[in-house]
Amino acid sequence: MSETIRAFSLEVSTRLDLLTQWALDGGLEEASGALADALGAGGVIQTFGTGHSEAFAMEIAGRAGGLIPTSKIALRDLVLHGTRAAASLDTLEGSILERESSVAEELFALSPVDPRDIFVIASHSGVNGSVVGLALVAKAHGHKVIAVTSVEHSNAVDPKHPSGMRLSDIADIVIDNRAPYGDTTLEVSGGGGVGAVSSITGAYIAQLLTLETVQHLIRAGKKPPIYISSNIPGGDEHNNALVGQYAGRLRREA
């Protein structure tokens, strides 16, 4: 058992070390600069991910230590705000909806998007219809798109969007999450794999992006709008005052 834990720890730490060195070498500069520019112009960071990649969007949008001008787009918005009635909640189960390219236009229309906003879209595979579709719609409306995806996995599978494109083909900036094909890192005797890493590397990338975007804003002489924990004295008051500056533009639903 301990050898398996050590093996997985090495797989994780090796990837985090690669991401750290990449960031130290300036790999985040273009993406964090684009995010800071959008925020400086009054924009909001729109985030989207399906399946486990929704965890990446949650890491960017609406958490302590994160940037306040961030909003999370989710497939459940189609039920909560769109044409899909609550009676159709079963449509959210599994991975069927995330593969539908037809939902992208409605998702965009339902979202509080401003022309100044920038999109950060996460998908390990980078080929599902909803993800590729939303990236295409965002680009068509003039928004810059940053993708966080597994380059290895995405290049090894066929696109599922009618355009024949991958998320990495559409995005202005592509960040490789360093996760392998299939996402698992350790083989199991008798077949199969365990030890998924994309959620771990994705969370790390999200925090690196936040850190570097904040540094860009500070260098530009601007005070970064950062959430503090609502569980400390004055937290709610601080957060509510800043959130109020973006009234109607931030989505924080479960």
pLDDT in tens, 41-58: 999 999 999 999 999 999
Residue 66 lies in a domain: yes
Residue 251: inside a domain: no
Domain count, the chain: 1
- Taking the C-alpha atoms of residue 142 and residue 84, their distance in angstroms, rounded to an integer, is 27
Instruction: Report DSSP letters for 130-193, one per residue.
Output: HHHHHHHHHHHTT--EEEEE-HHHHHHS---STT---HHHH-SEEEE--PPTTSEEEEPTTS-E
Q: Specify if 34 maps to a domain.
A: yes
Q: Measuring CA to CA, how many Å separate 34 from each of 48, 166, 211, 214, 225? A: 17, 21, 13, 12, 16
DSSP string, 65-113: TSBSSEEEE-TTHHHHTSSS-GGGGGGGSTTTGGG-GGGHHHHHHHS--
Contact by Cβ (8 Å): 81, 71: no
Which residue has tokens 């965002």?
138
Question: Which region, left, alpha or beta, applies to residue 190 given φ > 0 means left and ψ of -120 to 50 means alpha?
Answer: left
The span from the CA of 96 to the CA of 82, in Å, is 17
pLDDT for res 81: 82
Three-class SS state of 42: coil
What is the rounded CA–CA span in Å between residue 126 and residue 155? 9
The confidence score (pLDDT) of residue 161 equals 92
3-class state of residue 14 by DSSP: helix
Residue at 148 is within a domain: yes
75: in domain: yes
Question: pLDDT at position 88, please?
Answer: 55
In a domain, 253, yes or no: no
Q: What is the pTM of this model?
A: 0.92
Label the pairing between strands 193-196 and 184-187: antiparallel
Residue-wise pLDDT tens digits, 105-118: 999 999 999 999 99
Residue 90 inside a domain? The answer is yes
d(C-alpha 180, C-alpha 197), whole Å: 8
Q: Which domain holds residue 58?
A: 2-246
Nearest to 82 by CA among 113, 107, 47: 107
- Helices vs strands, H then E, count in the chain: 10, 7
- CATH code of residue 82: 3.40.50.10490
Name the residue among 172, 142, 178 with its Cα closest to residue 20. 178
CB atoms within 10 A of CB 236: 13
Which of 138-142's residues contact partners 24+ apart within 8 Å by CB, and which partners? 138/46, 138/108, 139/170, 141/108, 141/113, 141/115, 142/115
In a domain, 122, yes or no: yes
Locus of tokens 């996760």: 179
Would you state the pLDDT for residue 17? Answer: 98
Residue ranges in the chain modelled with pLDDT below 50: 87
Round to whole Å and give the CA distance between 121 and 186: 27
